Structure 1
Amino acid sequence: MKILITGQHGQVSRHLQHSLADLGELCVLGRERLDLGQSGQILAAVRAERPDLIVNAAAHTAVDQAESEPDLAHALNATAPGLLAEAAAELGVPLIHYSTDYVFDGRKPAPYTEQDAPNPLSVYGTSKLAGEQAIQAVGGQHLILRTSWVYSLQGRNFLLTMHKLLQEREELRVVADQIGAPTWAGSIAHSTRQLIERWRDGQAGEWGVYHLTAQGETSWFGFAQAIGAQLAAQGKPCARLEPIPTSAYPTPATRPLNSRLDCSRLAQQWGVSQPDWHDALLECLAAQRQA
């Protein structure tokens, strides 16, 4: 089996390259080989490789930066996924694509299901929703996996930012009224492998949109507390944490207050589920200590 992965250095892509390595031949197309911002390259690149499966792990994920560069965000998050879907349909192969909790406005008091109507509040969320719609318009075999609050030991993310700031400062103010599920990129890659194996073995569920996040919920403040607790357990310095409302930490992009996603449909259809967010965090940090 030949698996084409778009993106090379992103959090999810790095873990995919490790998790999928023994499933077949991996063709990883980073920006040097395929610039998804150049739409004319996409169909030709996929046709040249003729993969058995496409996993789109590339995206414009700088949420605040997207507010000032909407054209680039749309090119990477909307136009490119649609063209990848066209290429996959042309070859008759599945496409796995990652989306986000930011397609919702966060006003629902309960976790969002796949049947809830999206209403993004930001350029990033709007562009990601347009990418979902572009894939759905093409049809074919596809999985759109909405995840949330992705972190890892590489790149730029909340875990690494907190790990640094908690050791540098005496006090740190963190937003406490946004609720969601921190989701380790390693868990996303492992779940993706499980989905590919189900498809390969003729046990695929329905194609379409699914939610894929860690189990449980917390706030950014609670996530920071968990990171700080691990630092303290290692005898490292740790700042005092102060909870604040979103209104006290303005950002260019508006975030949904409720980012909780109901992931039960993926478990029912495909038999795939994620660990609890806190357990996954411990697994991620254990990998750091072993490295």
Structure 2
Amino acid sequence: MRKTIPDFEKMKEIGEKISMLTAYDYPSAQLVEEAAVDIILVGDSLGMVVLGYESTVPVTMEEMLHHTKAVRRGAPQTFIVADMPFMSYATVDLAILNAGRLIKEGGADAVKLEGGVDIEPIVKTLTRAGIPVVGHIGLTPQTATQLGGFKVQGRDLESATRLVKDGSAIERAGAFMIVLEAIPRQVAAQISQELKIPTIGIGAGAECDGQVLVFHDILGLFKRFTPKFVKKYAELRAASVLAIKQYGEEVKSNLFPSDEHTFGLSDEVIQKLYGDK
């Protein structure tokens, strides 16, 4: 049964951790739902792990809609959060239009936006319009260039204080949950303690109210790089390459297809078809 926003609030209240994992298509969504993960995030990370972009920046609204629809079809009983891609919420009007599309057309239950104090007015407008919002502070991949690259944020007093203020602003604006990415665990613990809404960590320590990782990372499917905060639970890339290689070799050596993978005709039909030829 699909969890609801009050369910997540209750989980934080009683100390039950919230599990979140990305999925980008029908089969991956099916797997995540079957595994009973609480929330699926259709992340704009799909730009890197599925579409082959160098970053999340090139991802478009149409691509997010396409993948969100597929995930909803694959996981009809799971709460789905869809990322708002870069520049899709640059203004309040754009944010309303695009967030509405992810909910109405894509089938998402909520949308996720990157930013803190700077996007408070946009988050407030969306929530007042009835669109559930998840915040995202710390390392924000869409603006990683401004942050000096994919680096841990909040390591000095000034930036740590700013993160705490960002978290408060997002909660004040009406978001029901917030992702904390790549920040020291002590800062994440402070934010998690101060906020009434659940915090979801990714490289932010165990004190967060839940955790999120990328589907392709935990299964060992993404080759380009592996962040420090990722734990690989399987090495499916190597197993997949081995299986594909074996298939190719069996085709070359005529071992595949064998009789068990082939359809045939009865002798009677063959006789009628070919006669005495």
Q: TM-score range by the shorter chain?
A: 0.3 to 0.5
Give 1 or 2 for the bigger CA radius of gyration: 2
Question: TM (normalized to structure 1)?
Answer: 0.34
Question: TM (normalized to structure 2)?
Answer: 0.36
Which structure ranks higher in relative contact order (CA pairs < 8 Å, sequence separation ≥ 6)? Answer: 1
